[in-house]
Structure 1
């Protein structure tokens, strides 16, 4: 079923088309009423796509993502053991 609703979209081409060709952003209906220009919409779409698609989130977060699940398990068990030890000594 097709509805008679038209939407504004911004299409951003991918700089590296190995996996993705385009990103499509659907513009909110009230964005046009706020005095936003087409150029501002495109720049915001590019900024969002760049930040979302793998911007550098820092060395610390990369280290956490690369840790093995076994390390998470050991850290959790150590934390619980520490809480039990503090509770037993108190």
Structure 2
């Protein structure tokens, strides 16, 4: 049993409940002492939740698995194609 602890919590509900129902953020005690409004704290929580979902989607994970030399090779091929097209004109 926990006694004497009170925290302010923000609950952000997801628009697509396939995986998550809600995200729970625990607000720092001094967050509102710095002149920050409740609306700004809520917007920041929503941005954090959206950023997490964007970062962990299927496509972003696939792009992170591609090694750096593949990007370099793709850039070299693209530059070569541009030069070949420029020489033909």
- TM over 0.5, yes or no? yes
Could you list the runs of 5+ residues in structure 1 that have no partner in the other structure?
Answer: 72-90
The question of whether the paired residues in 1 share the 8 Å contact of 2:54 and 2:60 is answered with no
TM-score (norm 2): 0.62
Partner of 1:5: 5
**Deviations 1:44-67, CA, capped at 9 Å, x for gaps:** 00001101122489x7863342x5
Aligned residues: 67
Structure 1 segments (4+ residues) deviating >4 Å: none
8 A Cα contact 2:13 2:23, kept in partner:
yes
1:48 aligns with: 48
Change (3 A) 1:48 1:64: closer
Q: Which runs of 5+ in 2 are unaligned?
A: 68-89
1:4–1:47 CA distance, 2 compared to 1 (3 A)? same
Q: Please provide the CA RMSD for this pair.
A: 2.9
